[in-house]
Structure 1
Amino acid sequence: MIQDGGLAVGGTQDKQPNAQLNSWFVRSGWSKGELARQVNRRARQMGALHVSTDTSRVRRWLDGEQPREPIPRILSELFSERFGCVVPVEDLGLRAVHQPTASSGVDLPWAGPQTVQLINEFSRSDLMLGRRGFLGASLMLSAGPALVEPMQRWLVPTPLGFPDAAGAALPREPGASGRLSRLSEPELELLETTTVMFRQWDSQCGGGLRRKAVVGQLHEVTDLLQEPHPQRVAKRLYRVTADLAALAGWMSYDIGLQPTAQKYFVLALHAAKEADDRPLGAFVLSSMSRQMIHLNRPDDALELIHLAQYGSRDSASATTQAMLYAMEARAYANMGQVSKCHRAVRMAEDSYSESRPVEDPDWISFFNEAELNAENAHSYRDLAYVAGRSPTYASLAHPVMARAVELFSADAVHQRAYALNLVGMASVHLLQREPEQAADMTVKAIDIARRVRSERVNTRIRKTADTALRDFGDVPAVAQLTERLASQLPEVAESA
């Protein structure tokens, strides 16, 4: 088996210790063996089965050896998650992979045919190359103006196509024959209901179980979009494409493939624009915002949410507006802006009181009373952390998080959300210095995590358990968490 994906870049003579990588490594608190195990686990998630790293290889990196891709990208993702901020490859003292074209980033052309081609190519690469690790290695996360400014062009009106004799607009680049294909109404409905089914599977089982099936369906729909259709049919196909691409992005985010997730979100926003579906585009932007909060970029998250709110202000349902306000509150909480966070929480609650779920599209069906309470509770919890573990905000979070847990406990579909909120409740108990209750919530989350393939759930459980052990390691219930994690939620073993 090839060590860490191939030979080191360049020779081994005249190496200097990599001071930048050493600095991040020391601050992480990881041992060389732990970092090697994390690299191997992430490589397997990417499908890079040829990667096998050990402590001696980590030592060589710290001593100045330059590893080949996908190792630099994996290290960037691992340290980004560890520190809750974007840690570029260059900041680790490593050589970044060459980006050959602009299409590998997020600044893409806003035109239907190009959007279809890009999604078709990217989904095919994900299906065929991702399992060997090359797809993730070719991407990098965008943040700041490099991310936000291209997304602002979502608001620019799209030119209309030319009408045919029947009054329908032809695609901008119809096929050579110019003849319109005729998808039947049952066929279109089947495509739409299949997406609903995939979303239910994701909520129940996590992003790791059916992601490839979603990507495959997305690829098939973009094949259909390369045929000419009447405008009405084309818009429905673009809407299905946007929905599937957003779901593929969400599932990628859930299993820790952050650059892949971001690329799918961007492509989903482009497809939503072609479908002329502003609320769906706002939903995609909210997912991008959530990812930025996860990566400790609340300023970017807020910009994306405000863009979503502005773009859908006259078309989004009350439920969608409530979700956007709740995400706005999360961003303000992580920025430490207390009064604006409280205002956004109230706006979320007021908007939700006007919800009419029967009129909502399926993609917003996840945002129910339980999810509203969950988001607002996490906003208060985040304020507590930003304010130095404030007991005041922890006490505000407690009853709202408890209500979310209660509601999710009776929900057989949203099992991943239930696990995440059990972990959230555990973190609130830790803020309130209630280690036994925190351990109990964490144990319940572990039981669900064993049935849900979600790296996001697993990571939050481990981080919460680490915090509990650090602060309350002498409490028996907390001390037992280490054994339970090792036996019931073990790390992926290193390959031979």
Structure 2
Amino acid sequence: MVTRAVPNLVFRRLRGQRSAGEFAAAVRRAAREIGEQVACDARYIGRVESGEIRCPNYAYERVFLHMFPGATLADLGFPDRESVRGRGARHAPRSSLSPLPPMLDSDIDEECDVLRRVFMTSGTTTVAAASLGLCGGASAAGPLITVPAQRRVGEAEVSAVEEAVRQIRRLDDRHGADGLYRRAAEPLRAAYALLDAGTAARRSTADRLHAGAGELAISVGWLAHDSGRLEDARSHYAEALATARLAGDSALEAHAFCNASFLARDMGRAREAVRAAEAGGRAARPLGSPRLLALLALREAGGRAWLGDRTGCEQAIGRARMAFDQGAGAADPEWMSFFREAELEMLEAQCWSALGDWPRAARHARRATRLQDPHFTRNLALYRAQLAGDLARAGTADEASAAGHQVLDLLGRVRSSRIRGMLASAVRVLRPRGGPEVAALLERYEELPRSTG
């Protein structure tokens, strides 16, 4: 049974004479003021006002309450969050051919359909070749990767898709996602055009193309995630998951669920994060990679931490460490090159941070910064931003300020809205503390140019 959406007339009145686009711009400005990252546009405002979005996620909630001081969600026309728990029940049943899981429900179905139409636009003969580079200078990007556009799919085309995935990951490791996302969308469209319209000589080639296109969708989704385009990221992850299901590719399915869990946690959808991680674990179990199971267990731990489930979180961390200690193996996916001991410590730090155990979080974040491979420039900044926030909340203002300076040192090379948001959060905590170290950080932080995305 499908429940009719109830328009949010209160929210519409609050918009006043502003257009939906103007109001969306005001939402984005308010988000920047409090260090949040929301991908608000006119379409999102329309969905809220029509009642399609019955209750905003936690990031939007914080922004809306910042825009209207003293108001509650009820004052903005939203029902109580608990009453919206069973969102999936209001949507029509899905086809049994390729069902999406509950965590990737109708919030993104329409967007996935739009993406697929874009991928198929112009048919097989007029799809333009797409190249990938880092915006802002060829020297940072290195040689361009070209995804050929032709009807017959062979080794050259599949290899180009696979190499595009590798290059996106290399560039993200060094420079962060901001500036990469829009360029990376071009080879993604070309890859899906090959997938939808091409013919492969061998089944093995077709399987590699499905896997490559799905991995490319996940990589582009991660760029969207890290640059604050969270709804775009959901769409890309859903596309990857649909590709995995159609191809029967368990490895791709596990990867899509892993990233979807991480994204759900960052969007304030903790239960969804747990469900996605558990689904990823089921897909990954036959693959024979303890490291992959460890990462998925940490994704589950992160979701449980945000639910306040300390016992469940500790149990998931324990499983993760046991699996991680089995060591790397031949079955570990290529995309997991980032998952080393430093990342293990970082993800555990985030769990304790979510549970409010700031000193314990800081200890793990400190270990992460000490263990991190300097090749992963983005993660050098990310781990220090986490450390700065945990130390600030633990009351260690001087050391937090020192970590903040290290983040600022790296932001000239790393463009990541997510990292900038983490630093902004640490600065908000430090600002009232005072002292020369904090003052020096604040002065330098205020001189930081605004990200252009």
TM-score of the alignment, normalized to the shorter chain, above 0.5? yes
Specify which of 285, 289, 303 is matched with residue 331 of structure 1.
303
Aligned partners of 2:75 and 2:263: how far apart in 1? 21
Specify which of 217, 228, 253 is matched with residue 256 of structure 1.
228
Is residue 400 of structure 1 aligned with residue 361 of structure 2? no
Aligned partners of 1:111 and 1:18: how far apart in 2? 36
Is residue 467 of structure 1 aligned with residue 429 of structure 2? yes
Is residue 458 of structure 1 aligned with residue 420 of structure 2? yes
TM-score normalised per structure 1: 0.65
Correspondence for 1:479: 439
Correspondence for 1:222: 192
Equivalent position amino acid for 1:228 in 2: T
Name the stretch that deviates more: 205-214 or 458-467: 205-214
Instruction: Give the superposition deviation at 1:454.
Output: 1.2
Correspondence for 2:85: none
Give the superposed CA RMSD: 4.2
Correspondence for 2:406: 444
Aligned partners of 2:439 and 2:294: how far apart in 1? 40
Once the two structures are superposed, the pairs formed by residues 15-34 of structure 1 within 5 Å of their partners are: none
Specify which of 59, 63, 70 is matched with residue 81 of structure 1.
59
Aligned partners of 1:17 and 1:314: how far apart in 2? 48
Unaligned runs of 5+ residues in structure 1 are 1-14, 23-32, 49-67, 95-104, 129-180, 386-392
Instruction: Give the superposition deviation at 1:196.
Output: 0.8
Aligned partners of 2:307 and 2:350: how far apart in 1? 13
Aligned partners of 1:37 and 1:186: how far apart in 2? 45
Correspondence for 1:185: 155
Specify which of 175, 178, 181 is matched with residue 211 of structure 1.
181
Instruction: Give the superposition deviation at 1:355.
Output: 3.0
Secondary structure of the equivalent of 2:374?
A: coil
Q: Which protein is bigger by CA-based radius of gyration?
A: 1
Give the percent of matched residue pairs that are identical in Structure 1 and Structure 2: 22
Aligned partners of 2:348 and 2:262: how far apart in 1? 14
Q: 1:358 to 1:310 in 2, by over 3 A?
A: closer
Correspondence for 1:424: 386
Equivalent position amino acid for 1:467 in 2: V
Equivalent position amino acid for 2:59 in 1: E
Instruction: Give the superposition deviation at 1:263.
Output: 0.8
TM-score normalised per structure 2: 0.71
CA contact (8 A) 1:235 1:276 kept: no
Instruction: Give the superposition deviation at 1:214.
Output: 2.1
CA contact (8 A) 1:39 1:74 kept: no
Equivalent position amino acid for 1:196 in 2: R
Q: 1:406 to 1:122 in 2, by over 3 A?
A: farther
Q: Deviations over 1:428-486 (max 9, x none)?
A: 2123211011111112112212322211111111111111114x1x2222233332122
Q: 1:312 to 1:492 in 2, by over 3 A?
A: closer
Equivalent position amino acid for 2:368 in 1: A
Instruction: Give the superposition deviation at 1:191.
Output: 2.4
Instruction: Give the superposition deviation at 1:74.
Output: 11
Instruction: Give the superposition deviation at 1:290.
Output: 1.1
Aligned partners of 1:372 and 1:91: how far apart in 2? 42
Is residue 275 of structure 1 aligned with residue 247 of structure 2? yes
Secondary structure of the equivalent of 2:287?
A: coil
CA contact (8 A) 2:346 2:365 kept: yes
Equivalent position amino acid for 2:374 in 1: D
Instruction: Give the superposition deviation at 1:360.
Output: 2.3
